Chain A
């Protein structure tokens, strides 16, 4: 390809056939297995993320059902204590790490360029790498589980039980090394979201016009950038404690078991918002479509997201109220935990006001979002109960906390994701999900969930401890536990209905046009599924709701969706300024490549070598890793990274 000129004025041209054809030729990847493995298309990886996360959701769900069978009645012996330990650990880490965050990444990876009005993520190859290393980290941890060495100390993995003397098998090493790999994935993904959000929005999409899903994702991504190093470090320290005799968490060598809890919760509390804020963004963007009006209080909802994330870093100690921390710390963190409910409440009131003042269309997606609000409120109230240090002393380590976390995580994450899937499935596949099956899907999930987890508050108040594999008769817990188990199976049936709906509808669903719901944001301006280049011409945006401008008359100027910069001299994207989205440069985008996959495989091989103490192999793999990275990053003229002409 000829070297591009250094400076040029981009052609402003209308969307037309020849442009579209030329762009399709530039952006479409090759087919076949090699094309599948080397693709860098964000739409492809968005779908892969969601499918992979759903597979892990199903695995985590089966693990939960086995535990619920064990707990259905007193003195059951379906599981041994060790099996139960591994199951609740795998269930927790699967749902929280391998499902909850990746599924939201899936939505955002698929939607980001579409809602921001650009053609791909800022770093398409890094995007592919994030997916592959996520998949491999999950397989790595599950490989341990399959050969009988699953993590067995809960997803929070407290020292000293995770240390070698109490846990001699390689169980914890699988978890530790797997989580370091997973941390690489989420960090790479976060980097990509931040740069795409800040530098690749359509011209005119100033930050106060960006969709809230983008705000939620970018806020969560900043949370990831600041919090994930804490847990990666904690797991690294745990691994060196176990393998090389360091004394971070071991009191014998003047270590501190509580240091584990600090590092873990400094990460894991913000993580609660990492798996919530993008889901809240899904609701904030999609709920208004079904209320036929813009979201009430855009600005306060955005500020609330950011405030929640910032405060989220200041409340980790509320997971440690019962560890004997000083009174002053107790008071401060308890107060901070109360305060953090304020921004969440702001969002809840915004959603309620949107429904109240809108004309809701009671579709399946709307039902999921309305259910989401109800469960969010219940989870929030039980959260306030545990934020109060005196009541937390009573409730900690009981099923009340289990009920709380499930209301929060299923309420905020799972329901929003399911609703979001009903909204954007047509954009991903070109076909609508079935509404009748959808209603069954919603009601079984909603009823099953509440049947399972509402009574758990009561078992918790009655003193039933979590993480214990069985309980004796006569404590008044038996009937409630049976109800919980029945509810869990109804919930599982509801999730199964979603899978059935997806399976049937992707082939036989009603064909969706570009905009089946009449949505306001840019993704609804392109065909379903979108073409490989997303937008034939880069749209120029003049309001928050480019597709509703005729109805809303938001601004004097109008968005321009059919006439804009074509950027068709190769794979190109527009770079815009961080605040006002003024165009500043044209970025050349990379072609398909196997480098991301190879890098991910090499990194995973390094973890396997470290697990086996195969240091020579580890050294060789490191060299391979460096070589792949070296050629991945080799500056290329086609990308405009090197000098225009050779100096003589």
Chain B
């Protein structure tokens, strides 16, 4: 671009979707949080390489974790649906979608706590227990933050703050929620499925 004169065009004012600073800011947050989980999984595999499969006392059961994974994925679908409803000014459906997202997130947390209670080991038993509880604990903390975000945009939706044009906060909360779900898939694969492989 060699001509300096700025082209005069109609520019949108304020936070508009992916043009807003906020959306880009959330992308950087996701980058750094994704790194955090990469390091948590690094620690898990580091121990696994050193101690082999004998490190894991018994293979983790999937009875709770598998349906819980489905619940979290389902919540992502509802949040995605809410976001697309917001884009089409379907404000009732938008609020319902966000509310279902919040409820499914809370159910995930409850089942996760149940699962924690059922474990025969504790955080202080061995490095496997430490790794398991700290990694899933970090993920739960992120779910809590995500639920709070969804609850906040739900409240603001109910107050009539957003419409099809001004809905950057919904997109920002939604993309964080999808990220939290994606991280769970990585954790689920690492902690629950890899012990069954090989």
Contacts and interface: CB of A to CB of B under 8 A. Distances in A.
Q: Do the two chains belong together in a single complex?
A: yes
A10 B25 CA distance: 25
A474 B89 CA distance: 84
Interface residues of A, number: 85
A113 B15 CA distance: 20
B149 to A, nearest CB: 9
Contacts of A266: 39
A572 B12 CA distance: 12
Given A9-B9, A585-B12, A195 B125 contact: no
Interface string B121-138: 001111111110110000
A550 interface: no
A586 B31 contact: no
A244 B13 contact: no
A542 B13 contact: no
Contacts of A640: 13-16, 166
A621 to B, nearest CB: 16
B43 A254 contact: no
A122 B39 contact: no
Given A226-B31, A542-B4, A244 B15 contact: no
Contacts of A585: 11-14, 16, 19-20
A635 B156 contact: yes
Interface stretch (A140-148, A199-207, A335-343, A428-436): A199-207
A254 B33 contact: no
Interface in A1-42: 4-10, 12
A75 interface: no
Given A557-B3, A626-B148, A246 B130 contact: yes
Interface in A209-248: 224-230, 232-233, 236-237, 240-241, 244-248
B21 A583 contact: no
Interface string A578-589: 001111111110
Interface of A is mostly: mixed
Sorting the interface of chain B by its residue count into under 10, 10 to 19, 20 to 34 or 35 or more gives 35 or more
A284 interface: no
Contacts of B12: 6-7, 584-586
Contacts of A255: 127, 130
B39 A263 contact: yes
A198 interface: yes
A647 B130 contact: no
22 contacts: A122-B24, A126-B25, A204-B6, A224-B32, A225-B28, A229-B38, A240-B123, A240-B130, A246-B130, A256-B46, A256-B127, A259-B43, A262-B46, A556-B2, A559-B4, A574-B11, A583-B11, A585-B11, A585-B16, A587-B21, A588-B14, A641-B161
Interface of B: 1-16, 19-21, 24-25, 28-29, 31-33, 35-36, 38-40, 42-43, 46-47, 50-51, 55, 89, 91, 123-131, 133-134, 148, 152, 156, 160-163, 165-166, 168-169
Interface of A: 4-10, 12, 122-123, 126, 187, 190-191, 194-195, 198-200, 203-204, 206, 224-230, 232-233, 236-237, 240-241, 244-248, 253-256, 259, 262-263, 266, 538, 540-542, 555-560, 564-565, 572, 574-575, 580-588, 626, 630, 633-635, 639-644, 646-647
